[in-house]
Structure formats: structure tokens, C-alpha cells
């Protein structure tokens, strides 16, 4: 994809020592595309493909698992990229956006930023869990996954999900200042600092846990909840499906817990 291509282009040499990732739209990332017409899996459990040598093809669970494991390869490649990667977040950072931020090294956010995984109420989990267990601990991770609640940037900073919060109009300048400050360190030193710190989490099982996340997410894709969400989405539209998912919580899509 475009992000991977850009990172490969910036990888050689030390003229670029720090990578900054930011969004151009109203939100950093609203998550994976779940519109029925654009979703490869169409929310149909156990659907089989006819382009296989065996007449019944492969199960949906098998295809979903393989797709998710490929996705984990991408996130772990970003995690282990040799140069520091700084995420600059404004607006919503939901679902797959947490996979991206969790794979980065440092995160600065605007006061307008909101973090969470409402999709956990019916659609599974961010397979990497946003690296939350390593960043904010098991208790806060479970609280966010069990509820599907979103939190504001101040709370995200307080619990260690992100590094710093700035007013939105200052975010770009402040993040660039941090990138320039980090870039004063020679690249070989930055690489050693990054990989030696990452190794602590890896030795505690982060890499294996990320791949296990793909396995668990493939299981979630077979649940009745995701099947019902898909049925509503394809018959009544995505908005109706989101209302079905969120109405029991009384918060809609815009509520933020502080």
C-alpha cells in the first residue's frame, strides 16, 4: 500500500532519521472499511470461494485467518522499522487506527483526538490490540474492549496510550519540533535505542501475542453478532447496523468518556 511504499523509499541512508505519520482529512483514522460494497468478506460466515481446485473451496474462517496474518506482518514490519516513527493524531483514531498508532514509536495528539474501539461491540478487535496491553496494561485494555468506549486525548495521555497532547492549532508545529529534536541523534543510535526498547516487549511475548490476535479475530468473525451486523448492513445500510450496535450503550458514535 501507499504507506508501506513510502516507508520503503525512506528507509535507506540517514538523511531521513525520523518518520512522521499524519492524516490529511478530518480524522487520523476511523478504522477499517466496513461498507458492504467495499468489504471483501461481506460479513458472510463460512462463505466459500469457487476458484479452488477442491469443489468446495476454502472456508471463510481459513481465508479470514490468512488475511489477518498478512495484516499482522505489516504492523510488525512497521513496529520493527529501523527508524523512529512518530504518529501525529487529530480527530478520531478508532479500530485499525489503533493498530497503526500502536506500531509507531511515539504519539502526539491534538486535544480533539479521540481513541477507542467501538467495533469491539460486534465486529471483533484490532488484531494487535493497538499494543494496548504493553502500553496501558491489561486492566485498561479490557475496560476499553469490553465497553467499546472512546476516550479523549487527555485521558489517553494520562494512562500512557500516547505521549503528549497539544491544542490542535499547535500540533503540527510541536510534532515537527520533536521530530527535529530526535533527528539530532545519529541514526545508528536511534536504531539501537528503538530496537533495544522494543525487545523488552518482544521478550514478554508481544510478537507472538500479535499473531495470536489474528487467530482470535478470525474466531470473532464467525460469531452471531458479526453475522447480524452484516445482515443489517446489507439490507438496511451501514448506519442502521451501527445504530443496532451502539444503541444499547446509549452513546451513539460520538460520545466520549473522560
Q: Where are the domains of the chain?
A: 17-249
**Buried-state track 155-184, b at ≥16 Cβ within 10 A, e below 16:** bbbebebbeebbeeeebbebbbebbeebbe
CA distance 254 to 258: 13
| Residues with Cβ within 8 Å of residue 194, at least 6 apart in sequence | 82, 83, 84, 105
pTM recorded for the entire structure? 0.86
List, for residues 199-243, the tens digit of each pLDDT value: 999 999 999 999 998 888 888 888 888 888 888 988 998 889 999
Mean pLDDT for 150-172 is 98
Rounded to a whole number of angstroms, the distance between the first and last alpha carbons of the chain is: 35
At residue 126, φ and ψ (nearest 5 deg) are: -65, 120
| Residues with Cβ within 8 Å of residue 72, at least 6 apart in sequence | 127, 128, 210, 211, 213, 214
Does position 143 have pLDDT exceeding 80, yes or no?
yes
CATH topology of domain 17-249: 2-enoyl-CoA Hydratase; Chain A, domain 1 (3.90.226)
List, for residues 63-112, the tens digit of each pLDDT value: 777 778 888 999 999 999 999 999 999 999 998 999 999 999 999 999 99
Amino acid at each position: 500500500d501507499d504507506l508501506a511504499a513510502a516507508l520503503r523509499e525512506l528507509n535507506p541512508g540517514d538523511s531521513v532519521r525520523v518518520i512522521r505519520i499524519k492524516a490529511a482529512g478530518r480524522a487520523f483514522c476511523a478504522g477499517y472499511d466496513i461498507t458492504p460494497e467495499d468489504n471483501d468478506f461481506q460479513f458472510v460466515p463460512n462463505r466459500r470461494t469457487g476458484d479452488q481446485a477442491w469443489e468446495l473451496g476454502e472456508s471463510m474462517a481459513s481465508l479470514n485467518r490468512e488475511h489477518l496474518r498478512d495484516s499482522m506482518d505489516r504492523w510488525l514490519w512497521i513496529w520493527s522499522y529501523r527508524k523512529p516513527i512518530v504518529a501525529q493524531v487529530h480527530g478520531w483514531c478508532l479500530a485499525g487506527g489503533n493498530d497503526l498508532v500502536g506500531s509507531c514509536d511515539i504519539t502526539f495528539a491534538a486535544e480533539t483526538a479521540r481513541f477507542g474501539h467501538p467495533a469491539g461491540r460486534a465486529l471483533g478487535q484490532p488484531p494487535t490490540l493497538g499494543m494496548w496491553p504493553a502500553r496501558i496494561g491489561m486492566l485498561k485494555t479490557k475496560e476499553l474492549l469490553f465497553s467499546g468506549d472512546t476516550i479523549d486525548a487527555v485521558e489517553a495521555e494520562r494512562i500512557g496510550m500516547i505521549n503528549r497532547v497539544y491544542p490542535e492549532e499547535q500540533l503540527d508545529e510541536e510534532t515537527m519540533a520533536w521530530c527535529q529534536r530526535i533527528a539530532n541523534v545519529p541514526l545508528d543510535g536511534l536504531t539501537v535505542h528503538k530496537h533495544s526498547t522494543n525487545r523488552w516487549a518482544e521478550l514478554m511475548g508481544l510478537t507472538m501475542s500479535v499473531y495470536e490476535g489474528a487467530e482470535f479475530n478470525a474466531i470473532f468473525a464467525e460469531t452471531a453478532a458479526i453475522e447480524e451486523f452484516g445482515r443489517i448492513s446489507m439490507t438496511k445500510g451501514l448506519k442502521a447496523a451501527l445504530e443496532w450496535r451502539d444503541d444499547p450503550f446509549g452513546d451513539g458514535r460520538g460520545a466520549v468518556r473522560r
